[in-house]
Amino acid sequence: MLHDRYLICHGTPESIDSYILTLFQAKRVFNLLRSRFNGIRICFFGHTHVQKLWLRDPRGKVTSVAPNSPSFSLDPECMYLINPGSVGQPRQHDNRAHYLIFDSINERVSFKTVPYDISKAQHKIRQARLPDYLAARLQDGI
């Protein structure tokens, strides 16, 4: 999904199955945004199920920012790759639901975590006859 100021994708803007886990991968996606999506500074992505924020400063330096503060103001001079996390299948060894609130007017992101009924989710997974490991790993958030 493309907006005039930001992009939303599952994996990367290039592929729904690609990951952004490493510095190399983040740099590659920032370069792609600059070359193919002129003007897009903010890309929201998923696929890894882990809350993450990558920042590219005006000099081109790329860093990872841990989402450990409740709210983060986005610098209009920087580019961002932001993963809100996962509500139903968290993968950061924390079994709570993870999500993000984006204030598009003030360009602020707020990373959130909340408990949810894991037993009920596990029951529904097993009821749907999905592989049991999908239900089992919810307990540990992996």
Q: Is there a contact between 33 and 43 (Cβ–Cβ < 8 Å)? A: yes
User: What does the domain layout of the chain look like in residue ranges?
Assistant: 6-136
Instruction: Report in angstroms the alpha-carbon separations of 91 from 23, 50, 64, 80, 106.
Output: 19, 6, 18, 21, 29
> Cβ atoms within 10 A of the Cβ of 44, count?
19
CATH superfamily of 6-136: Metallo-dependent phosphatases (3.60.21.10)
pLDDT digits (tens), the chain, 142 positions: 667 789 999 888 888 889 899 999 999 999 999 999 888 999 999 877 788 999 999 999 999 987 777 788 999 999 999 998 888 777 677 788 889 999 999 999 999 989 989 999 999 999 999 999 999 888 877 7
Residue 132 parent element (H or E)? helix 132-136
